[in-house]
Structure 1
Amino acid sequence: MTVLMAPGGTLDMALRAFERGADSVFVGPKGWSRRPASDELTDAEIGELIRQAKLQGKDVRIAINVMPAPSEVDAFLAKIEPYAEWGAGGVMVCDPGLIPLVRKRFPQLEIHVSVTAGVFNTEDIGFYDELGADYVVLPYRWGVAEAEEIRRASPMKLEAFMFQTSHRGRICPGRCYSSSYFHVKHFRDEDAKDHFVGSASRGGSCYRICRVEWSLRSGDYQHPQAPTLKSSPELLLWELPEYVAMGVERFKIPGRERSPELVADIVGFYRRALDHVLAGNPNMCGFASEWEDLKARWTGERTGRDDDRVVRAELAA
């Protein structure tokens, strides 16, 4: 089965995604999913979403992709327990040491290797397969050729982002700690979870300082071109027929930090585009104009969000 999976940064966003044709949504529990609290859900909201998804024959996945300290491992597993009991379909994890623990304690859940695990090659994917993961999320810097290589080399199910980077940057998702060096504050909640604001890997959110304009100097010499630490992804379109042909199981729309209106429109667009391809029509030209409009809206919202993050980082420093 080919699944279209959408983001749920809020309960409203998740429900709109279902209405516009998503088969599945992914959400993050507050403090456990590398996003600001405004883009994460409470347990009560997650429980309600799972209930409504079941009524529609749809599915919810939980992004719990942080790297807990040793003292937080028990809290991490306890956090997953109600989601498994309520009927979540799976969890997205980035810490390899936790995958065998989740596999043993929650055998009914499918385990996704989060893009924030920083997968680099097929050997990495074999490693996660041996640990007990079910899905590997293709890094959005990869393309069709890399996906085909994985499909040939591993039985892991594939989850493809619906966006890609046209120019490869220097930052790998999940392997960047520059925001943590810039500024971190933390507080401990009633469940003994430390919330590290400014450190996504510890349950906070990145300040996006890679998106500011940097200069490159060596002694008195300044390089004439500013380096691109992280380029802005673009929504994917033309590769969609090839991904479908190779049997990619899940197509993931990112954007928990986007507006519900934009996410709903993107979900509706990809529902139609994916159904078009699944019906045996590989020509995507009819979607190009709408695709360009959505890309412009996507970039505009991203730029505004990142600029705000940088300002907040400067104020916090």
Structure 2
Amino acid sequence: MELLAPAGNMDKMKMAFLYGADAVYLGGKLFGLRAFSDNFSRDELKEAVAYAHERGKRIHVTVNIFPHNEDLTALPDYLRFLRDIGVDALLIADPGIFSLARKLVPELPIHISTQANTTNWASVQFWHDLGASRVVMAREVSLADVREIHRRVPVELEGFVHGAMCISYSGRCLLSNYFTQNRDSNRGQCVQCCRFKYNVVEEKRPGQYFPVVEDERGTYIFNSKDLCLLPYLPDLYDAGLCSLKIEGRMKSVHYVATVVKVYRQAIDAYERDPEHFHVRPEWLQELEKISHRPYTRGFSVSRPTEADQVYSHSSNTQTHEFIGLVRSYDREKHIVWVEQRNHFKTGQTVEFLQPKGPLVTLTLPAMTDGDGNTITAAPHAQQLVGIPCDTPLEEYSMMRREVIRHDA
């Protein structure tokens, strides 16, 4: 089973690999559906491929916009560039881009993006017959249907298992075009209008706003919960998926590292002993610590109901916040050196999420700055802080603390 992680920039890509991803999907500056993530320049794409291949990892590049005529001008040169730097696969949704890629770079494997809305075995067979090596299932497909497709068509199947859900059919949305100045969701510029707060306006009574639901907070009628299929891991294997995909190219480094590590641990545990596998409570607790909306199982085992929407707000929730990144550990002095990412001070209890090792909890006893001076707080961005710690900690461990909630 491949664990496929999002990589919105170089730092997120490296953290995804460090925390256990087998492959990442990422986009260049053009032709991908996440125009507002950092994305990769040509030089960065070349560096990313080299970095991944040195570690036995894989790079899948998104070329999954629905192009207009002007988008096609620069496409042939870009496809040849991706071939020349050795990317492992192209993610494509549009038949025109697919056709060009098959003619110009026939040696590159093509994965059919979830944007292509592939929901049945006949469509999968169609793409397979044309030369696609993998099809990413539409998020509206149940695991029972995936199992049927796998039985009928000898092609790799990939499925989303964690992250944000789109209210539109596998992402085909026009809301951004209408609510903004030509920001096309299908050309990479989604502004997530589905998270906006809505009321109804009657045509002959302009200026009068009526709540869709009798609730003083309004309603978010398009606002889906986030997907989490960790409890269904054995079913994902049984259905015939070869790759489990995590959504989140615009999410934080903390999100990517945490989700990747949880699914890595679960996959490894299942493959060691499928018969006695169970979802550990600490894995589910970890997934609550990242920024997310309440979780849903999506379309995996049943049709979503009204309970799979969030009606009262569009903001995320999380139990912990990322406050520092471990840069090194001095084994002689028993000091961990942390790069500050958010304000912290002595006396606070923190956790260290390690790439490979167990979770470590520590109440900060003392701190020094980079020059060895005693300090009681780390208020400066990316300040290097020394903290006494008897437990050796891995480089790139993530330091975080519980979010303190105050009553309104």
Question: What is the TM-score of this pair, normalised by structure 2?
Answer: 0.64
Describe how 1:1-317 pairs up with structure 2 within 5 A: 2-163=1-162, 171-185=168-182, 198-202=183-187, 204-215=188-199, 224=213, 228-281=221-274, 285-295=278-288, 297-299=290-292, 303-304=314-315
- Cα 1:282–1:218 shift into 2, 3 Å: farther
**Is the CA contact (8 Å cut-off) linking 1:179 and 1:209 kept in structure 2?**
yes
4+ runs deviating over 6 angstroms = 217-222
**Is the CA contact (8 Å cut-off) linking 2:167 and 2:194 kept in structure 1?**
no
- Cα 1:215–1:153 shift into 2, 3 Å: farther
Q: Deviations over 1:94-140 (max 9, x none)?
A: 11222122123212211111112223333332332233222111222
**Is the CA contact (8 Å cut-off) linking 2:163 and 2:247 kept in structure 1?**
no
- Over the aligned positions, Cα root-mean-square deviation in angstroms equals 2.8
1:192 corresponds in structure 2 to none
2:356 corresponds in structure 1 to none
State the shift of 1:216 in Å. 5.6
Greater strand proportion: 2
Q: Deviations over 1:123-165 (max 9, x none)?
A: 3323322332221112223331121121123222100112278
Unaligned runs of 5+ in 1: 186-197, 306-317
State the shift of 1:58 in Å. 1.2
How many angstroms apart in 2 are the aligned matches of 1:141 and 1:228? 18
How many angstroms apart in 2 are the aligned matches of 1:73 and 1:133? 20
Length, aligned pairs only? 289
How many angstroms apart in 1 are the aligned matches of 2:117 and 2:238? 26
Identity score, percent: 28
How many angstroms apart in 1 are the aligned matches of 2:213 and 2:36? 39
Which of 247-256 and 120-129 deviates more? 120-129
- 2:248 counterpart SS class: coil
Q: Deviations over 1:59-105 (max 9, x none)?
A: 10101111222233241222121121111100101112221221232
Which of 26-35 and 69-78 deviates more? 69-78
Q: Deviations over 1:252-303 (max 9, x none)?
A: 1111111112201211111111111112335554423332441452416995
- 1:161 counterpart SS class: strand
How many angstroms apart in 2 are the aligned matches of 1:282 and 1:162? 21
- 2:157 counterpart SS class: strand
Letter in 1 for 2:190: C
Higher relative CO (CA 8 A, sep ≥ 6), structure 1 or 2? 1
Question: What is the TM-score of this pair, normalised by structure 1?
Answer: 0.81
**Is the CA contact (8 Å cut-off) linking 2:61 and 2:90 kept in structure 1?**
yes
